[in-house]
Structure 1
């Protein structure tokens, strides 16, 4: 007869350990399976989080509208010019608002800044509400390196406008000058590199508000843009830049 306090045989102990291990594994797997749906539901949100949480395209458009407003204000002040500048800023601010941001231009370093709305109160950033500075967006409006590229593009665009003036009607020449200024100042791109959207913006917004076109120019604007592109094919950008260098050197020599 076996006593109840006798130790069980080793094979029984081993079997018990195997059964306990199997039960523990089952519980662990069950717990993991129960957690999976929640994890799966949360993972898309984590993947979609962005800092800052405003699309790059919206930031680029806000910068463009800011530059348009400044360009309008750089012209001789008139009620029409002031209205155009205000409209550009209003469009920029409305765009920022769509994403829960407030647009400001920081004067001390000439920077466009987009702040999350929850940081703001009566137009001022409340520092105690800033939980993550990376959520703000900053765009320099006069960054280093821009000047040289602008100089090259502006020289080329001016050369194209001058070429149009030499070989085409005056109505096209005047529009070419305005289009050259538009492409240089707002996009820093050659006139013959304008996209359909840029051409539409020029025709429908910039030209009407800032170009002071005659009725003849307005009627011929599409033809003028085609003429500009055609003439530009014969203008060498490097030659235009060299000509600008020569003029600047001559000016420097004359001033010394």
Structure 2
């Protein structure tokens, strides 16, 4: 078991994904610095292993002059790895996206604005996490609100005003669809 808290790893992964998606160099640098500071508070550092597109968080003490020194590693279990490639199985992604599309259709019955917000959230969950909308964690919902929605959805004032209600409808409709499927 790693000594790095799960929520720290989640945030390091989120920042890495944001860093990769950023189009502005200053924004990319800010995400990288936030990740560095977050991990440094716990005595860890991060790198992306390009061979399999994996975020690796490992103790600072393993690094000497910028390179991981294998002789410094006593317990590889102290490192934490997270795939950055999503689900990796196109069939899973298609199934998830189809489910999320059904939820969007159900929410759209409550009005065009709610439908547009549901579409943005479904795209976010399908494309960034390859998961059903109802599986979103609080952290992912917050990421949607603070990062994705404002930057990628180009919401109208009306959409911003009702986004909380729209997400409530997303979860209610997803539950209703799941109940109907049983």
User: TM > 0.5 between the two?
Assistant: yes
* CA deviation after TM superposition for structure 1 residue 83, in Å: 5.3
| TM-score (ref. length: structure 2) | 0.76
- Could you say which structure has the higher helix fraction? 1
**What is the aligned partner in structure 2 of residue 155 from structure 1?**
98
**What is the aligned partner in structure 2 of residue 58 from structure 1?**
8
Distance 1:210 1:194 in 2: 18
Contact 2:87–2:130 (CA under 8 A) maintained in structure 1 = no
Looking at both structures, which has the greater relative contact order when contacts are Cα pairs under 8 Å and sequence separation is at least 6? Answer: 2
Distance 2:82 2:142 in 1: 25
Out of 177-186 and 104-113, give the one that drifted further. 177-186
Give the 5 Å matches for 1:89-108. 89-108=32-51
**What is the aligned partner in structure 2 of residue 182 from structure 1?**
124
* CA deviation after TM superposition for structure 1 residue 140, in Å: 2.5
Unaligned runs of 5+ in 1: 1-50, 240-256
* CA deviation after TM superposition for structure 1 residue 108, in Å: 1.2
| TM-score (ref. length: structure 1) | 0.57
**What is the aligned partner in structure 1 of residue 167 from structure 2?**
225
Paired residues in the alignment total 181
Distance 2:161 2:92 in 1: 33
Contact 1:192–1:232 (CA under 8 A) maintained in structure 2 = yes
**SS of residue matched to 2:120:** helix
> What is the CA RMSD across the aligned residues, in angstroms?
3.2
Contact 2:86–2:128 (CA under 8 A) maintained in structure 1 = no
* CA deviation after TM superposition for structure 1 residue 196, in Å: 4.5
Unaligned runs of 5+ in 2: none
Provide Cα deviations, 1:13-41, integer angstroms capped at 9, x if missing partner. xxxxxxxxxxxxxxxxxxxxxxxxxxxxx
